[in-house]
Chain A
């Protein structure tokens, strides 16, 4: 596999705060990556570093094999419309789409027009007068129709309703099928995009704490539910990711079970259920704090 992004020991400090802290990872070509994490975890800073908007304090970044900072050759192959993207004064969506064609070598104007209709973006209204969701839709359309070999979507759904979000996911997958490219999608709505993602990067407090294929993660944990005593007996020898309980019942999250273990659990009268990607990430980003505060 070819890496389009290689990051090694990357740190970005703002005063004493490290917004990105010693991050090392790769982004493989033509895959959809989820960059997940809580507010202020460092997602936007990381994407700005990858697109040369932000400057590294330490470590190295290679995008298409080169340092992206002030590198026209690299940057012309990227598209990064931020969630809070500023648009030029008095621009209307039609100006945005018209000008995008001058910057993205693979821009597809017909596709953009089609998407504008589907997302119901008024072409001749000032950006300033659009609703939050319509502004987000403009960003989504630019991201999709640019067909940049490395495309970033930074929380693209802000203000988009459920229908529009589903439309975004559908169009993204469809177009990705026809024009494979590397996509990095940062989002809070982990369950919604769970099926879209091929690889997951979780950033917490500036550090990359998970870097794994989405399939591995999805099967990596199980909830064991049943009478507290039976559950505790079953999980005694395992690493417990999370523990919940009401009265005499317990629900415990443990690492994936072998088929033999599954049948042992079943015969002990325990219920097993898969852990969603979102639950798993919540467990992994909050357990740490509980340990620290304990």
Chain B
């Protein structure tokens, strides 16, 4: 007969490979869009500058180029990647006889690798951006102030944002997989109550100055370091939900 394999083979790395099996969705396509956005944004900047004759106005305009949010695309896109990696990959991996535990570990590792890959990529672009004086027109897509002042800071901030988006996105996808629309609705209503409650609480105790002071004290990198705690909670929560989930049709 077909030999029964007695010793458990490592199933975590195959799960990572499974997520990378078709690199189009997770690597090729996002970079094509990101670079297209970059080129188009630079062209728009150049067009604007070409139409301003007065040097003083030009300088003011260049200042405005320092706050472009276009690079946000890649973060939002990774939420989609996170959702798909649970929504369709989990039922598929179950058919391949992967345990939920191995699936969760492999998927977590995949998220970490992808976060590292993209944060290195964005940091490299930010270094090029700095070196070319903002692509020759003083624009900022990747070295925007809220990503940090130095490349190492940015690397960390990018990484933390990716990690948060991947694990939060996958936890929400797990809720959907298990409880469908009812679960998602319940979750977001509960989340809304929690956030409104927190805002009310801070307002009630007149603690906004305190909150502002905390962020100032903790700093950009420190604040993003705290987001890793939220990501870890999302990861554990997502696994807890998945542990009792049966793939449905």
Measured CB to CB, the residues of A under 8 A from B are 29-30, 48, 51-55, 64, 70-73, 75-82, 84-92, 95, 98-100, 102-106, 142, 147-149, 179-181
How far is A17 from B41 in the complex, measured between Cα atoms in Å?
59
A29→B1 contact, CB < 8 A? yes
B96→A103 contact, CB < 8 A? yes
How far is A76 from B96 in the complex, measured between Cα atoms in Å?
8
Contacts A72-B11, A103-B98; is A89 near B88 (CB within 8 Å)?
Answer: yes
Question: Which of A98, A102, A180 lies in contact with B2, CB distance below 8 A?
Answer: A180
Q: Nearest residue in B to A71 (C-beta to C-beta)?
A: B99
A-contact bits for B1-21, CB 8 A (1 contact / 0 none): 111111111010010011001
How far is A88 from B101 in the complex, measured between Cα atoms in Å?
19
Q: Which residues of A contact B102 (CB under 8 A)?
A: 72
- B residues 60-118 touching A (CB-CB < 8 Å): 84, 88-89, 91-92, 94-102
A-B contact pairs, 17 of them (CB 8 A): A29-B1, A48-B246, A55-B244, A72-B99, A77-B4, A77-B5, A80-B94, A85-B91, A88-B18, A91-B21, A91-B22, A99-B96, A103-B98, A147-B2, A179-B1, A179-B2, A180-B2
B175 CB → nearest A CB, Å: 17
How far is A75 from B96 in the complex, measured between Cα atoms in Å?
8
Q: Nearest residue in B to A100 (C-beta to C-beta)?
A: B96
Is there a chain A Cβ closer than 8 Å to B24's Cβ?
yes
Q: Nearest residue in B to A70 (C-beta to C-beta)?
A: B99
Is there a chain A Cβ closer than 8 Å to B51's Cβ?
no
A132 CB → nearest B CB, Å: 14
How far is A90 from B89 in the complex, measured between Cα atoms in Å?
11
B54 CB → nearest A CB, Å: 50
Q: Which residues of A contact B3 (CB under 8 A)?
A: 105-106, 149
Is there a chain A Cβ closer than 8 Å to B25's Cβ?
yes
A77 CB → nearest B CB, Å: 5
How far is A163 from B67 in the complex, measured between Cα atoms in Å?
62
Q: Which residues of A contact B203 (CB under 8 A)?
A: none
Main secondary structure of the interface of B (DSSP, over half): loop
Q: Which residues of A contact B18 (CB under 8 A)?
A: 88, 99, 102-103
Contacts A29-B1, A89-B25, A181-B2; is A76 near B97 (CB within 8 Å)?
Answer: yes
How far is A76 from B5 in the complex, measured between Cα atoms in Å?
7
Question: Which of A64, A71, A73, A104 lies in contact with B96, CB distance below 8 A?
Answer: A104
Q: Nearest residue in B to A79 (C-beta to C-beta)?
A: B97
Is there a chain A Cβ closer than 8 Å to B183's Cβ?
no
How far is A72 from B1 in the complex, measured between Cα atoms in Å?
20
Besides A72-B99, A75-B97, 8 other A-B contacts (C-beta < 8 A): A30-B1, A70-B99, A76-B9, A85-B92, A86-B88, A92-B22, A98-B21, A103-B18
A179 CB → nearest B CB, Å: 5
Contacts A77-B4, A95-B21; is A70 near B84 (CB within 8 Å)?
Answer: no
How far is A211 from B22 in the complex, measured between Cα atoms in Å?
43
Is there a chain A Cβ closer than 8 Å to B148's Cβ?
no
Contacts A86-B247, A91-B22; is A102 near B100 (CB within 8 Å)?
Answer: no
How far is A52 from B8 in the complex, measured between Cα atoms in Å?
16
How far is A91 from B18 in the complex, measured between Cα atoms in Å?
10
A51→B17 contact, CB < 8 A? no
